[in-house]
Structure 1
């Protein structure tokens, strides 16, 4: 089997795009926490961001379909990711909480005047207060390590006089959150995170739309393109982790500058690839009635709801899987020495042993089973995976269980993107992809939110058991609803088999298409030979 050079640029995009985002997106919650954002605010940010996709994914797809400016919207998404992730490095850290021990800022002798010197020289006093609207806000704290000495002119001469840096006043009634929201540093950070997520969701919508436009009728080959994104993600996570550890040895803290450089370089290269992509320009049709019928067609709606159910399970996994692994490891051995190694192995298993083979096989699986049956298998895979997580006591057992990542995510992602492409009316491909993608990513936010409530109240393993059991029940309900629809609407059976029959016919259609392209190439070669021969005859006649 030769290389499909027509799809090679799309493979390059997936590889470069995930090589660019992989070094940072994995570490974004850690970076946010390192910049001084409290843990519960970090959780709130990652609960809010997925809901952004409801607006950005649908609007980006609709704009691209209406203007037929798919390339421009595509480039905008990649550019927004690159700018936001690069700017994130230069956002300032938040002031530390006042309860945290912060190194004092030593003042030179003679800095404190009699008017600013406390009469009894206490250990520390609030200073530099301002009143806005009648409310006093401590901006800093003066700290004296010993009573200040004063000279004849009344100036403080004790070199141990010190003043701490500005700090946030924390309280137990949620005041810490409001103090954080009142910092301009937080909003600079949030703007960068918001921008990268908007670019991320826009880029996903457009890359899937363009990929299916290039594939044409060969939708079953989507997994063979998308797998290069997984390869890029796995390689970039390993490379970035090693470079960050090496660069941070002399820093005293984790410095993610190498990851930011990798992101800028690979996303800049991706911009070049996207700008030169050759894909058919979609037709623009006024298909509002057709689009409405496609969106609310009952079986499409059932698959759309199932996409949301998958998103909830993924949201729980993406947010709490590694936290559960850490909890189990510490219960197994309080000073578990191989935690970082275990987390790295889990990422490697998910990328290279689970996603890669199943993305490559997804086309054949969907062709043989059909979209609905493939959805059912993946839902069962999610259910089994979550329930097994709840039963693990030895942390090393997470490695073989994570092989189910291929049966679950590795099947369902190509499945619902291919399904969205198959049911979208002409001229509304990006809009339909945006609707399915927005449903999935918004549901990941629901999964993180509900998972957080359960995790706090019941613990990690009970949370995974409950969500796993609920996913299994939904899988059975999904299969039962589809069987009922097929029984009640015999015509729908033929239509649904279209997902299977259509896939069965894809190979024949693709083969015919390849034969036609080969014939066209041969005809073009014959024309070139004939023209070359005619030119030689003309030259001979002239001579």
Structure 2
């Protein structure tokens, strides 16, 4: 049999979608906070813009997911959201920088004294990111829903084995785009005042990868399951599960921490003198570290359970932030961010837990809620709080505060789950599972005593289906040869 006969076409295209989509996002997403700095915006303004776009995506993602579920046209909705959001995101390249009243050699520090919250630059960036961010990432939620629907039909296939290709693309292109910016800037702008980075090359790379990703979505078999329930009814059904609400609360806390770290970690590295190559290498290492963990994430979660997998996320984040607070050379962040690879387990645990808690026709809504909670509400809260802290107290105070916050989140989630969610959670080891126990046909109080007789009678299911008749006879072990009549159909 030829080797290509072993290749599953559906899963191959899913891998391609993840690879090209995250490759495109890697060209701009890691650099957005420092691109805003490049345009002349302040840390507090960057925090407000980032928080607002994430809050908006908290509503856009589940809303678009519900539209896909309600209409049954998941593929069409995913393609349109990618194309629309990519066009808007690409337009950020043409936003003019904040004009300086002190001449071309004005530093960031000098601009801060005259910067206005009503500048054209601020509002253009604000509205473009406001409208594009949620749509951009909602397509990922829909593809993740499709991945779970497809892999459930494929024996031996897991979500992590598909999603790891997104990390491969993200890590590879974050490195290449960083090198490209440094190379392009040095080769074309040797007399550049202030050594400003030219970001145009990465925006064009971003657009190219997004178009290829849309093409892959176009050839992917439609994963629609048909029209389903309304958005509010579906969300109400999902959020009526207390254990899922507690799990989403932990996802929210982790999103707040990750959002604060992602936005201002690169700003901190820039303050330490990092080049675009250093930042690209950092992102390459942190995402490539996710690849093996995505591959084994399903096995790992089966061993320790979804809840413990998520709890360990708080500890890995704490180690990351503590390390950031001590570095003085930006290259040390590359070594520290190996720990960040654990986020592969974090995300697999969050999405798979939501998938198991949702009915088949609510998969897109469930994934939208998880993504909106982490990248929307979580990132929004994290950026809204961390922006002023970074601006007023600096990076060291911010990252050590986040370390303490991670430890508080670890114990808070542990207590909430143990007190309110454990009995309802059907997914983790150590929890009573209905499918793992043999159902009792007769209750304990109705069980006959050891020396009792029961003549006649029948056994039926809860639906009234007759399984057979039962006749018990007193066992007489002291007389060999006696036989016990048990079941007769």
Q: Report the TM-score when normalising by structure 2.
A: 0.76
Matched, 1:259 2:202: yes
* Contact residue 308 and residue 440 of structure 1 kept, 8 A: yes
Matched, 1:316 2:319: no
In structure 1, C-alpha distance between the alignment counterparts of 2:425 and 2:46, rounded to whole Å: 47
Q: What is the aligned partner in structure 2 of residue 177 from structure 1?
A: 116
Q: What is the aligned partner in structure 2 of residue 381 from structure 1?
A: 316
Q: What is the aligned partner in structure 2 of residue 250 from structure 1?
A: 188
Q: What is the aligned partner in structure 2 of residue 294 from structure 1?
A: 238
Q: Secondary structure at the match of 1:255?
A: coil
Of the candidates 250, 253, 277, which is equivalent to residue 220 of structure 2? 277
Q: C-alpha displacement at 1:297, in angstroms?
A: 1.2
Of the candidates 75, 100, 114, which is equivalent to residue 97 of structure 1? 100
In structure 1, C-alpha distance between the alignment counterparts of 2:371 and 2:431, rounded to whole Å: 19
1:38-437 → structure 2 map (5 Å cutoff): 38-91=42-95, 93-94=96-97, 96-100=99-103, 176-180=115-119, 183=120, 186-216=122-152, 221-248=158-185, 249-251=187-189, 252=192, 253-286=196-229, 292-325=236-269, 329=272, 342-352=278-288, 354-392=289-327, 396-407=331-342, 409-437=343-371
Q: C-alpha displacement at 1:340, in angstroms?
A: 5.2
Q: Secondary structure at the match of 1:26?
A: helix
| Cα distance change, pair 8–498 in 1 and its aligned pair in 2 (3 A) | farther
Question: Which is greater in Rg?
Answer: 1
Spell out, residue by residue over 1:189-226, the C-alpha distance to the aligned partner (whole angstroms, 9 max, x if none). 44433343133222222121121121126697111111
Q: C-alpha displacement at 1:284, in angstroms?
A: 3.4
Q: C-alpha displacement at 1:501, in angstroms?
A: 6.9
* Contact residue 367 and residue 500 of structure 1 kept, 8 A: no
Q: Secondary structure at the match of 1:177?
A: coil
Q: What is the aligned partner in structure 2 of residue 452 from structure 1?
A: 387
In structure 2, C-alpha distance between the alignment counterparts of 1:503 and 1:343, rounded to whole Å: 48
* Contact residue 376 and residue 475 of structure 1 kept, 8 A: yes
* Contact residue 214 and residue 279 of structure 1 kept, 8 A: no
| Cα distance change, pair 86–459 in 1 and its aligned pair in 2 (3 A) | closer
* Contact residue 179 and residue 280 of structure 2 kept, 8 A: no
Q: Secondary structure at the match of 2:361?
A: coil
The Cα RMSD (Å) is 3.2
In structure 2, C-alpha distance between the alignment counterparts of 1:323 and 1:223, rounded to whole Å: 31
Q: C-alpha displacement at 1:291, in angstroms?
A: 5.0
| Cα distance change, pair 74–500 in 1 and its aligned pair in 2 (3 A) | farther
In structure 2, C-alpha distance between the alignment counterparts of 1:291 and 1:179, rounded to whole Å: 38
In structure 2, C-alpha distance between the alignment counterparts of 1:321 and 1:481, rounded to whole Å: 30
Q: Report the TM-score when normalising by structure 1.
A: 0.69
Q: How many residues align?
A: 420
* Contact residue 294 and residue 344 of structure 2 kept, 8 A: yes
In structure 1, C-alpha distance between the alignment counterparts of 2:172 and 2:340, rounded to whole Å: 18
Spell out, residue by residue over 1:248-268, the C-alpha distance to the aligned partner (whole angstroms, 9 max, x if none). 332335333322332222211
* Contact residue 15 and residue 229 of structure 1 kept, 8 A: yes
* Contact residue 41 and residue 98 of structure 2 kept, 8 A: no
